[in-house]
Amino acid sequence: MSEESTNLKKTALYDWHESAGGKMVPFAGYSMPVQYSDGILAEHHQTRANASLFDVGHMGQALLHGNDPAALMEELAPGDILGLDKDQIRYTQLTNEQGGIIDDLMVTQTGSALYLVVNAGCKDKDYTRIREVLGGRAELEVLDDQALLALQGPAAAEVLSGFAPEAETMKFMTSAEIGVAGIPCRVSRSGYTGEDGYEISVPNNRAEELAALLCGNEHVKPAGLGARDTLRLEAGLCLYGNDIDETTTPVEAALTWSIGKRRREEGGFPGADVIQSQLRDGAPRKRVGIKPAGKAPARAHTEIVDESGARIGEVTSGGFGPTSEGPVAMGYVETAHAAPDTKLGLLVRGKALEANVVRLPFVKHQYVKG
């Protein structure tokens, strides 16, 4: 057994995954299930047609306490945090002084604190940055005693409301403290698949109980990291470290929708001058959807060329889209080549394969916004 595998952390559901037949792999310092016995393709289709349960307990959860945590958070991120109503969620980014993305995260206004969910591979640096920037003006309470489950798919509302009736009427990007079959949870109507669904923060010592309850429903099966990746790619959602990082700005990443009008005008967040300049004058490159013309997938780091063969960018995420029934990809291209229907070449094994820029997402989002 390698040193890497022996040093891996385990989520509260590790034993449950093994008993359910999960194939465990290293991911962001954790041992996580990449798939179960049915396989990635079946898990992908299960999520699109019914519902799947994902363990996302490797993600970081924390509460930011202070006299005005929303105002303090705006010193770190370009999102409109002050504009959040109680139990409303905002997607935003932690930015550096060059406008690059340190991490992307979800921020919920609980009324007494901000509830943060950050990426597994970034949580230690995120927590350090938050504490350094805010100093003694706020307290960051890391919730290591909480697991996080994601119930995703068109049957998610029916399933969860059977254990927590309040969940059925929740709207997309809202959150509430709810008892799920008597288990105290924070339930957020959000996810990373493009489907309707929920993320459920639950005490570690009740996580297996909740997972067993949810998967006991005929509409629900467990799913792993493999399906989570194909689902989010079809939904056009960024994976930190692939599609966004400290060298990409929210404008380049086509995430300008996450920066509210007031923040665009006022600034006041790290890298504001760079981001405001790109909002005003345009960015040199842009994240786009890419549809290869043939059947061969274009993986991450595939070079993108224009019709003359000149290099204009790189694929950051790519593979086969099971619902799209063909290869799909995302990547960065020079802005002059970012318009939909622009013809591109993808250098695969030294040959330029035909592709087109397409609008994201590849599969329509099914969020409940009404």
Residue 302 in tokens:
């595939």
Closest by CA to 318, choosing from 285, 283, 346, 342, is 346
23 shares a domain with 165: yes
* Cα–Cα distance, 333 to 186 (Å, whole number): 39
Examine the domain organization and report whether 311 and 216 are in the same domain: no
Closest to 288 (Cα-Cα) out of 226, 236, 229, 223: 236
Q: Which residues does residue 355 pair with via DSSP β-bridges, in sequence order?
A: 292, 344
User: Residue 351 domain-assigned?
Assistant: yes
Q: How much is the average pLDDT of 319-331? A: 97
Domain hosting residue 301, numbered range = 284-358
320: part of which helix (H) or strand (E)? strand 311-321
Residue 153 lies in a domain: yes
Contacts of 199 (CB under 8 A, 6+ apart): 56, 117, 148, 149, 150, 187, 188, 190, 191
Give the CATH number for residue 306.
2.40.30.110
pLDDT tens digits, residue range 309-323? 999 999 999 999 999
Q: What's the CA gap between 12 and 215, in Å, rounded?
A: 16
Q: Are residues 288 and 230 part of one domain?
A: no
Look at the pTM and tell me if it is higher than 0.85: yes
18-57 residue pLDDT tens:
999 999 999 999 999 999 999 999 999 999 999 999 999 9
User: Which position has the token pair 């047609």?
Assistant: 49
Beta strand 197-203 pairing with 183-188: antiparallel
Confidence of residue 350 (pLDDT cuts 50, 70, 90): confident
Is the pLDDT score of 307 beyond 60?
yes
Please tell me the distance from the alpha carbon of residue 115 to that of residue 84, in angstroms, as a whole number: 12
Residue 181 lies in a domain: yes
150 and 229 assigned to the same domain: yes
Where a domain ends, among 173, 201, 234? 234
Residue 63 within a domain = no
What CATH number did the domain enclosing 155 receive? 3.30.1360.120
Which residues on neighbouring strands pair with residue 60, listed in sequence order? 118
147-166 pLDDT, tens digit each: 999 999 999 999 999 999 99
357: Cα separation from own chain's centroid: 22
d(CA 81, CA 88): 10
Q: What pLDDT is recorded for position 369? A: 85
Dihedral sign for Cα 318, 323, 327, 332, please. Answer: negative
Report, as an integer, the average pLDDT of 268-275.
Answer: 98
Lowest mean pLDDT among 145-149, 271-275, 347-351: 347-351
d(CA 94, CA 242): 16
* Same-domain check for residues 150 and 52: yes
Closest CA to 65 of 129, 119, 134, 120: 134
pLDDT at 349: 85
- If phi > 0 it is left, if psi is from -120 to 50 it is alpha, else beta; for residue 166 that is alpha
Mean pLDDT of the residues in the chain: 97
Q: Are residues 159 and 305 in the same domain?
A: no
What is the C-alpha to C-alpha distance for residues 167 and 194, in angstroms, rounded to an integer?
A: 18
Q: Let me know if residue 217 belongs to a domain.
A: yes
Q: Evaluate whether residue 183 is within a structural domain.
A: yes
- Cα–Cα distances in Å, from 170 out to 23, 108, 129, 197, 265? 33, 14, 33, 10, 32
- CA dihedral over 327, 328, 333, 339, signed as positive or negative: positive
State the pLDDT confidence band at 5, using cuts at 50, 70 and 90.
low
CB 240, CB 59: distance < 8 Å:
no
Place 3 in a pLDDT band, splitting at 50, 70 and 90.
very low
Answer with the one of 234, 267, 297 that is the final residue of a domain.
234
pLDDT (0 to 100) of residue 2: 44
**Is 38 contained in some domain?**
yes
pLDDT recorded at residue 1:
39
pLDDT digits (tens, 9 = 90+) for 168-196: 999 999 999 999 999 999 999 999 999 99
Percent over 90 (pLDDT), the chain:
96
Residue 173 CB coordination number (10 Å): 19
pLDDT digits (tens, 9 = 90+) for 111-142: 999 999 999 999 999 999 999 999 999 999 99
- Quote the pLDDT of residue 357: 98
160 and 221 share a domain? yes
* 322 alpha carbon, distance to own chain's centre: 19
What's the structural domain count of the chain? Answer: 2
